[in-house]
Amino acid sequence: MIIAGFAGIGKSRLAALKPDKYEDCVARPYKYFLDEDDRSAESDEASKGDCLSEIHWCWPCNYVNGLLHRNGNSKNLLIPSDHRVLEDLRTEGVPYALVYPASEGKEEYRQRFITRGNSESFLEIFIDDWDSFMSELNDDPCPYRIILGPGQYLSDVAEQLEQWSSMIAPSSNRNGIRLDYYKNERGIRRMEGFRMGMKPVHIAGLDLFIPINRDWSENPDSSPQQGEQHDQERIH
């Protein structure tokens, strides 16, 4: 099951407490082009919300495709409650649970972010736009939702999440085809037949598909290992 959670509710904490049941699917290396220093700090709270890096032109479809490939394994996938990711999941017919704080929790979460070392740019995003985030989450049509009370974390509602997980048949798509859009230097173009587990790259004037590394612990922009044979397709 996919569990989408707002910032600061304890996704990483729950994954650390129950590594056999939960996987923290960090989005940052999929959302941004990161250099080596950024990648080494991607799990550092202070690096979250840092918008200095360029957004990946394949976001959020590269991340969603990774989720679709991973969904259906033995673990629940913990993801951020990004509205673009959730919209894609709904388009694919993939159920998810939504966990976020009550609207009145703004000051509590401000302190959580400060205590765990989040950057000023992070606070500007999640605190300054708090009301917009809460309105967006309240309007999400997801039927599985938990609104956390004061002092509550994701781990406090794990029993309910695991009950839902046992009831909902996981939706995975390891070989299917989905359509999406991406932006390159020539503007927005349609990707015809975006293959699961593949990503488009612009090389020597051609738009090619290359495999996405499916291990979340690895660099999602890394090239295939030497010696592996992979097909590449052009966009027509």
How far is the C-alpha of 181 from the C-alpha of 16, rounded, in Å?
35
pLDDT at 52 (0 to 100):
55
Within a domain: residue 20? yes
Instruction: Work out the average pLDDT over 200-229.
Output: 40
* This prediction's pTM: 0.71
Structural domain that includes position 156: 2-167
223 in any annotated domain: no
Q: Is 41 in a helix, a strand, or coil?
A: coil
**How far is 153 from 6, CA to CA, in rounded Å?**
11
Alpha-carbon dihedral sign for residues 131, 28, 150, 109: negative
Assess if residue 188 is contained within a domain.
Answer: no
Give the separation between CA 181 and CA 167, rounded to whole angstroms.
Answer: 33
Q: What is the pLDDT of residues 26-83, one digit of tens each?
A: 998 888 886 655 544 445 565 555 555 678 888 888 889 888 888 777 899 999 999 9
Flag whether 162 is in a domain.
Answer: yes
Q: What tens digit of pLDDT does each residue of 81-139 get? A: 999 999 999 988 899 999 999 999 999 999 999 999 999 999 999 999 999 999 999 99
The pLDDT value recorded for residue 3 is 97
Count of structural domains, the chain:
1
The CATH number of the domain holding residue 134 is 3.40.50
Tell me the C-alpha distance between 50 and 181, whole Å.
25
Question: Is 234 part of any domain?
Answer: no
User: Is 94 a domain residue?
Assistant: yes
- Residue 83, helix vs strand vs coil: helix
Q: Is residue 236 part of a domain?
A: no
First to last CA, the chain: 35
> What pLDDT does 77 receive?
96
Q: Is residue 145 part of a domain?
A: yes
